[in-house]
Every structure is written in C-alpha cells, then in structure tokens.
Amino acid sequence: MPELPEIESIKRDLQRALIGKKLTFVSIKNPEFILKNKIDSLKSILETKLLEIKRYGKYLIFLFEKEGILFHLGMTGFFLFFLPKIYKKYLILSLKFQNINLNYFDIRKFSKIKKIDKFNWRENKELKRLGKDALEIKEKEFKALIKNNKRCIKSFLLDQKVLAGLGNIYTDELLYRAKINPFKTTDSLSEEEIKKLFYEMKNLLKEAISLKGSSVKNFINVKGNKGKFQEKHMVYGKKGKECLRCGSLLIYKKINQRGTTFCPVCQAF
C-alpha cells in the first residue's frame, strides 16, 4: 500500500508522539506472523527509549537505545494509536510507550519486521540492497543511473534496487507529469526528458508529503485519518476517463505485472 510519501507521513506522526519515550510493554498478537519474520523476542528493546525514527525508501526504522527494528508495510500494513474493533483481526503487535499505545496491523500480511543493528542500521541486508532514496538523490546521480540502464522507464522507476521509494501510484503520476510514455526505454530519453523527470519527481513527492499521502483504498495514518493527495491524482486508477490535459481517453496496460495508466497522446511513445 504505502509508498514514500505515505511512509514519510507516518514517520513524522510517530516521531512527534514517541521520540524519547520508553517502550514499557510489548504484546505479540499474531505469533505466526512474528515467527515467519524470524523475530525470536523483542526483549532487547523493552524498557529502552526510542531515540529516533528513520525512513529509507519505503522502510521505517525505529532506533532504540540498544537495538533497532525495521518495518516494511508491504501492501496493507498500518499503525494506529488506538484499536478499532473492525481491525482487531489484523492486529500483529501492540507496543506501549509510557502513556501511548501503538498498534501495528496488516490485512494481507505482506509486511516485514526485523531486528537490526542500531549502530549500522544502513548496513542491514534489506536496506543495503536498496538504491538511493528518491527524496535524497541528486540530479547527477539520477542521470547516471538512467544512462546506465536500458529497460522501460516504468520498470526503472519501480526498481527499489536502483531508486528507493516510488511505487505504482507515484510512477504513473510522475510519468504523466513528465509527459513520458511508460514503455519508453531509459536509453531513449533525451537530456531534457531526464531533467524534467527528475524535477517532477521531487515536486510530486514533496506535494504528496505535504498532503499526507494518498488514500485510495486502505491507507490511513497513525490517527486513522486519510491522506489528501488522491484528490490530485491525474491518471492512477482513472483508466477510461478523459485526460485532464487533452481529453483523450486514458489507457491501461500491464508493465511488470503492475497496472499502468497513461495518456496515449500527452505521453505518446
């Protein structure tokens, strides 16, 4: 479910509420899930303070005094400061930070939770194989990555090993804004197009973060509220509708098993 802007929104909400607080109680509500994630126990973080929360790509990293915990929310993972009845059956983990309860849920159970080394958290196996974070990457590095590649631009943007953070919503929205056909190969892009792509990516992500992410179906933030960026979507989930720029009908095709919506005219091949 969540891509970079959603994870960043979650991170900011969690930070505001939890930094400096001591983890006083942990309760595992779905032992099979925790077992599958190979977490033997969470004792090492109990009774220690939460010092920092980081985001890298679509990962969230909680740094406690002695150890870190990494979360990847998959398609349908979410945190809430309360426990609604309707979500009880999806509850994985309950954490108590002094006076605040934090519950972690996952509907489809594609998420990942791991204990990681606090000091070298970036060296963790999962994080190490990610490319540069989409918010942090510099124009020069972005250019170099693109030139070093020759598959279609959509697969390139989606590949977390190259660029971390973009998912299906934001790649479609980005390619629409940059007026680039998702099937175009990276080596066919002009300097102009690459530059446009880079700046549109930064703007798109910043705008999405400022509106607290996109809530198309499941995404809710820590307080249970929806994001607002879905109101700004131009193509995602709009196949068959008219392009807001030129009026042509938006087309839907699959790329890498992912639904892809684009305007055949504005984003001509």
Q: Which of 58, 114, 118, 212 is catalytic?
A: 58
Annotation marks residue 258 as catalytic: yes
Give the residue, chosen from 126, 133, 141, 193, that forms a contact with DNA under the rule CB under 7 A.
126
Q: Given the complex with DNA, which of 47 and 136 has the nearer CB atom?
A: 136
Nearest-approach distance from CB 20 to DNA, in angstroms = 29
By CB under 7 A, is residue 119 in contact with DNA? no
By CB under 7 A, is residue 225 in contact with DNA? no
- Sheet containing strand 100-106, edge to edge, reads 23-28, 91-97, 100-106, 77-80
Please, which of residues 191-210 interact with DNA by CB under 7 A? none
Annotation marks residue 196 as catalytic: no
Annotation marks residue 264 as catalytic: no
Q: Given the complex with DNA, which of 158 and 189 has the nearer CB atom?
A: 158
Please, which of residues 48-107 interact with DNA by CB under 7 A? 57-58, 72, 74-75, 89, 107
CA distance 67 to 266: 49
Q: Which of 21, 22, 226, 258 is catalytic?
A: 258
Nearest-approach distance from CB 1 to DNA, in angstroms = 4
By CB under 7 A, is residue 223 in contact with DNA? no
Strand duo 163-164 + 77-80: pairing: unpaired
Residue the block writes with tokens 């400022």: 210
Annotation marks residue 2 as catalytic: yes
Listing DSSP states for 55-115 in one string gives EETTEEEEEESS-EEEEE-TTTEEEESS--GGGGGGEEEEEEETTEEEEEEESS---EEEE
Q: Given the complex with DNA, which of 50 and 61 has the nearer CB atom?
A: 61
Q: Given the complex with DNA, which of 25 and 110 has the nearer CB atom?
A: 110
By CB under 7 A, is residue 120 in contact with DNA? no
Give the residue, chosen from 122, 151, 206, 223, that forms a contact with DNA under the rule CB under 7 A.
151
Nearest-approach distance from CB 188 to DNA, in angstroms = 13
Contact predicate 54/63, CB 8 Å: yes
Give the residue, chosen from 20, 84, 224, 259, that forms a contact with DNA under the rule CB under 7 A.
259
Which residues in this chain contact DNA in the complex, by CB under 7 A?
A: 1-3, 6, 36, 57-58, 72, 74-75, 89, 107-110, 126, 129, 151, 155, 158, 160, 167-169, 213-219, 236-237, 256-259
